[in-house]
Amino acid sequence: MAASISVAALPTVAQEGSADFPKLYITGAAGANNPTTRSNTGEAGTFEEYTNPGASAELGFGLDFDGFRVEVTYAIDASQLRGYTNIRGVDFDYVSGGETRKQSAFLSGYWDVLRHKSWTPYFGAGIGYSNLDVRNFSDAGLSYDAFNRSLWGYQLKAGLSLDVSSRSTLFAEGIYRATSRFDTNDGFNDWNNASWSSWGGQLGIRVDL
């Protein structure tokens, strides 16, 4: 009789387990970004350009397949141009403008290393579309044209997740985001620009729906 009860209960347990995954969730995070130095090259030579640290945010949806997650997110990185070292090696600071907005749509995959623990390190990578918008800017003697470019974008992540309830997970992550190279004309010369890349960090939350 006990064996019959155990066998009868097996389908119910299997059904409950199979209903747990995949889990749909929403995710949101905010933090800071620190753009890398860019080396830009043209017929006139090569110069290096610097950008101040700024803010970042990300929002989207995901599916958790019990250890492997897939997310579709919108991300924004905002900052401001700081200055440059010209082709002769002389440093200049920008005196006005140069506000930047990089808005991206990413499809990303994540691996939760310790998926059956209440906390786990994770790794992720994503690819997508980035729109880079840089406003007009100037130094002490020259003014430069704004530009807007549609580029390939990608991101790499490493972080730590902590379950705080049956439906909510907090996380902290480090991020590297970058774009494809792109061409510009600042009103004086044509330039081939290095990837618009940055290192950053975010704190966020995932909530099961």
Over residues 59-91, the pLDDT tens digits come to 999 999 999 999 999 999 999 999 999 999 999
Distance CA 74, CA 194 (A): 23
Does residue 3 lie in a domain region? Answer: no
- In the numeric block, which tokens belong to residue 131? 């729109």
Does residue 11 lie in a domain region? Answer: no
Distance CA 204, CA 159 (A): 11
Please determine, for residue 4, whether its predicted confidence score (pLDDT) is greater than 90. Answer: no
Predicted pLDDT of residue 8: 42
Q: Tokens 């730590």 belong to which residue? A: 160
- Per-residue pLDDT band for 19 (boundaries 50, 70, 90) equals low
For residue 195, report the phi and psi dihedrals to the nearest 5 degrees: -50, 135
Give tens-digit pLDDT for 101-121.
Answer: 999 999 999 999 998 899 999
Say how many domains are in the chain: 1
pTM, to two decimals: 0.86
- Which CATH number characterizes residue 123's domain? 2.40.160.20
Task: Tell me the HSE value of 53 on the side-chain side, using a 13 A CA sphere.
Answer: 7
- Per-residue pLDDT band for 158 (boundaries 50, 70, 90) equals very high
Is omega for the bond preceding 22 within 30 degrees of 0, making it cis? yes
Classify 89 as helix, strand or coil: coil
Predicted pLDDT of residue 74: 98
Does residue 154 lie in a domain region? Answer: yes
Instruction: Look over the chain and give the mean of its residue pLDDT values, rounded to a whole number.
Output: 90
Does residue 180 lie in a domain region? Answer: yes
Please determine, for residue 153, whether its predicted confidence score (pLDDT) is greater than 90. Answer: yes
Does residue 68 lie in a domain region? Answer: yes
pLDDT above 70: percentage of residues in the chain: 91
As a whole number, mean pLDDT of residues 126-146 equals: 93
Predicted pLDDT of residue 142: 87
Please determine, for residue 2, whether its predicted confidence score (pLDDT) is greater than 60. Answer: no
Does residue 40 lie in a domain region? Answer: yes
Domain of residue 168: give its range. Answer: 24-208
Please determine, for residue 96, whether its predicted confidence score (pLDDT) is greater than 80. Answer: yes
Does residue 72 lie in a domain region? Answer: yes
